[in-house]
Amino acid sequence: MDELVQIQNLIYEFRGLKVMLDSDLAKLYGVQTFNLNKAIKRNIQRFPRDFMFQLTKDEFDSLIFQNGISKQGRGGRRFMPYVFTEQGVAMLSTVLNSEQAIAKLCERLFKLKDSHSRIKT
C-alpha cells in the first residue's frame, strides 16, 4: 500500500479537527508511544490545545468501536490517547530525538496537505 494512503487512513476527525493518534505517530516515527508522550510532557508548553488534546472516554470508546483497537486488560491502553492536529504533528519533530521523525516529517506533511485525505469520523 502506498505510504500516503497508509497515513491518510490514520487521520481521524474529533471536535471538528483532523487529528492523528499518539500511538500511530509513534509508529511512524519509530519510537514507543510511552516515550513520545514522555517527551511531550517534558515540553508541554509547546503543545497548546489547538496542537494536541486528550480524548474523552466517549471519544475513545467510539474509536474502539469503529476500529477494533484493543481494550484495557488485553495489553491495550491504560490512559486516554492524545491526538495531534497538523501543527501538533509538526511540533513533535522538535521534541523527539528520532532521526525518522525529523527526516520524514516535512515530506509527509506536505503530501498530506496537498492531497484530499479521507477522513474517518
Task: Give dist(CA 92, CA 105) in Å, integer.
Answer: 9
The confidence score (pLDDT) of residue 117 equals 47
pLDDT in tens, 57-103: 999 888 877 766 555 555 566 789 999 999 998 888 788 865 566 66
The larger pLDDT score, comparing residue 60 to residue 5, is at 60
pLDDT in tens, 24-64: 998 888 888 998 999 899 999 999 999 999 999 999 888 87
* Of residues 117, 104, 116, 113, the one with CA closest to residue 8: 117
The confidence score (pLDDT) of residue 55 equals 95
Task: Give dist(CA 52, CA 116) in Å, integer.
Answer: 22
The larger pLDDT score, comparing residue 32 to residue 109, is at 32
The confidence score (pLDDT) of residue 9 equals 85
